[in-house]
Chain A
C-alpha cells in the first residue's frame, strides 16, 4: 500500500553492507567523521545526545551520568555493555518513559528538542523503541491497538483515518513481512505471547508505523535462529536509506545481520568506548571490563 512511504518503504533495495568503516576510536562520538553514503555529501544528524544525565524518579538514583552520542541519517549503531550499565534506561529516557527524570544535558532529534516532547509526540516525530520487555495489555486486541496507532500517525500526516476493515490489507502485508500468523491480530496485545512472539510483535509495530530512528532494545534476546533471521530481514526491508537504527544487544549474531556502522560500549551510565564492528571481537575475547577501561 505504501501509504506511509514518507517514513519507510517495504522494498528490499537498501543494503546496509555498503557501509565500510575504517577502524576508528574516539571519545566524543560527535567527532566521528562517518559518511553515510559517499554520494549524499555531508550526513545530516538525526539524533544528537549531549551529556545526558537522568535519574530514577522514585528513588532519585542517577543512572545516566553524561551520555554523548550522535546518530546521522542512514547509520546503524549498536550499543553493548554489561547488564545494568544503563542501556535500556538510555533508550527509555529517549522515548520519554515517566519512570525517569532528565537532570542534565540535551537531546536534539531532527533539529528539535526531544526532551520537551511528550512520549506520543516523540513517536509521531519518527522515534520508535522496541521494548526489552513489552507489557501485556489484556482486553485490547492487537489489531485494535495497531489501527489506533496507525491512525494517530495518519492524523499527524494529515491523512484521513481508516476504519479497521480498510486497514486490514495493510496490516496483513506487514504481518507477512515479519512472518507472523494472522491470528496474532485477534489476540490481546502481548497477552500470553512467548518471548519470541513479543519481539516479533514489536517489529510488526515498527513495520506498521515506520520510524526515522528505530531503537531496538535486545530485539534478539530469546529469539531462535529462524526468528532472528526473520526479524533482521524485516528490519532491513522496512528501513529506508535515510532511516537509522540503534540496537542494543549482547550478541554478535544480530550485528552480523544488521551490519552496524558504529559500535558503542556503555559502562556505568556513559558511553565508554566507540568503534566499529571490530571492537566486538575485543569484547568477546577480553570482556567488557578491559574494553571499557581502554578509553
Chain B
C-alpha cells in the first residue's frame, strides 16, 4: 500500500506569511519539506483550526507540534492514494470547512439514557464533565479531561502514549492539531471497572441540510488500561439534534491494553446523513491482553474508520466485528490493520456490510500481517457483504500477509444477494417475500449486533437498524 502521492498543486505563494508556519519551531527543515508536498488546502485548514483554539493548553502542546509538522508534508488524499482509492473525499474537499466554536456548546444536551453506564458527553469534541454515576468509579480510575488531570504520573503515561503512534494519516494529524482537549480514561493496575464507560459524542454545531458549510470537530480520547485491569468502553456518535446536519467529526481514540488486561470496545456510528465522519482507533496490545471491538456504523454521508492494532507481546487475543450499513447515498469504509509480531496471538475479524441503496457504497480494506516472530499465530478473517441494489457498490480487500511459517490462518470473502433458497423457505410457509427479505437482511447483520456486550444497547441498535432497513414498518 503506497502512501506516497504526487500532488500537482502549486506551492501557495503566500506560504511564508502563514501564521501556521510561523509558529513552527523548526522553520527551515519544515520549509524544505513543504516545498515537496505541502498542500495549500491542508495548510489553510490547519491554520483555521489553530486560530480557533486557545493558544496554550500545556499538555497538548507536544501533540499539536508533532501533528503540525506532519501536516506540512501530507497532502489531502486523492483517489490515486491507495487508502482512498475507493473512497471519494471530494464532497469534503469542496465544502467550506469551519471549526466548531471554541467553547463547549451550551445547548442542553440530551441526558444519559441509562443509569447502568458511567456516561460522559463529548460535545463537538469538548468533554463535558461531570461524568454520570461517578460514585461508581473504583479508586484510582480517572475519566475526564486531560486538562483537569492532576496526577503527574498519569499525565506522563498519557503523553507517552499520545506521541507513540506514527502510522496515522492526514486526518490523524488534523485531529492532533485541532483537538481542544483530550478525554482520558485511566484504569490502574489490577482494577476491574464493572460499570462500562459510555462516551457519547454529540455533534452540536452544523450547517443546515444542503448547505456548503461543514462544522468540524476533533474529539480525542486516550485510554490506558494498566496491567491486569479490565474496562468496557462504548463510543457512540450522533447529532445532538436534527437541523444542524452538515458537520465533520474527525475523531481519534488511542489505547494501550497492558499485560493481561482487557478492553471491551463498542463503537456505534449513527451520524446524520449529511455529515462526514472520520475516525481513527489505534490500539497497542501488550502480552496476554485482550481487545474486543464491536462496531456498528450506519450513519454519515461518509463514514470512514481507520483501525490500527499493534501487538506488543505474545499471547494476545484480538476480536474485531464490524457491521456497516448503507441505506442511502453514503459510503461506509473500514480500513483495518492488525500487526502481529509476537508468538501465539489469536485474532478473529468479522466484517459484514449491507448496501441497500443504488448510491450506497461499502469499502473494506483489512490487512493482517503475521510477521516473522509471530509463530503459532491463529488468525482468521471473514468478510461478507450483501449487495441489495443493482448499482450499489462494494469494494473489499481482505488481506492476510503471512511471513511466519508455523501459523493457522483462515480467511474468506463473499458478496451476494440474499439466498434464494432461504427466501423460498419463508415463502413456502406463507410468508410474503418483502417480510422475508426484511427478516433475512436483519438476520445477516444480527450476527454482529449480538456481539454487543450490553443488552440495552443491543436492543436499541436492533430497533434502530430495523427501522433503517424498513422505514415504514407495518
Contacts and interface: CB of A to CB of B under 8 A. Distances in A.
Interface size class for chain B?
20 to 34
Nearest to A153: B430
Interface residues of A, number: 29
Nearest to A155: B430
B446 A149 contact: no
Interface in A118-164: 118-120, 122-124, 129, 131, 134-135, 137-140, 144-145, 148-149, 152-153, 156
B469 interface: no
A208 to B, nearest CB: 9
A71 interface: no
B344 to A, nearest CB: 29
B424 A98 contact: yes
Nearest to A190: B425
B443 A119 contact: no
B55 interface: no
B421 interface: yes
A135 B427 CA distance: 13
A137 B433 CA distance: 15
A140 B440 contact: yes
B403 interface: no
Contacts of B424: 97-98, 119
A209 B428 contact: no
A152 B435 CA distance: 10
B429 A137 contact: no
Nearest to A99: B420
A95 interface: yes
B462 to A, nearest CB: 12
Contact of B439 (A96, A124, A144, A156): A144
A189 B433 CA distance: 17
A23 to B, nearest CB: 36
Interface of B: 419-422, 424-433, 435, 439-440, 442-444, 446-447
26 contacts: A98-B420, A120-B426, A120-B427, A120-B432, A122-B428, A123-B428, A123-B430, A124-B430, A131-B428, A134-B425, A135-B421, A137-B440, A139-B442, A139-B446, A140-B440, A144-B439, A145-B426, A148-B435, A149-B426, A149-B430, A152-B431, A152-B432, A153-B430, A156-B430, A189-B425, A209-B430
A-B complex: 3 closest residue pairs judged by Cβ atoms: A139-B443, A123-B430, A149-B429
Given A134-B425, A152-B431, 11 more contacts: A97-B424, A131-B425, A139-B443, A140-B439, A144-B439, A145-B426, A148-B435, A152-B430, A152-B432, A189-B425, A205-B429
Interface of A: 95-99, 118-120, 122-124, 129, 131, 134-135, 137-140, 144-145, 148-149, 152-153, 156, 189, 205, 209
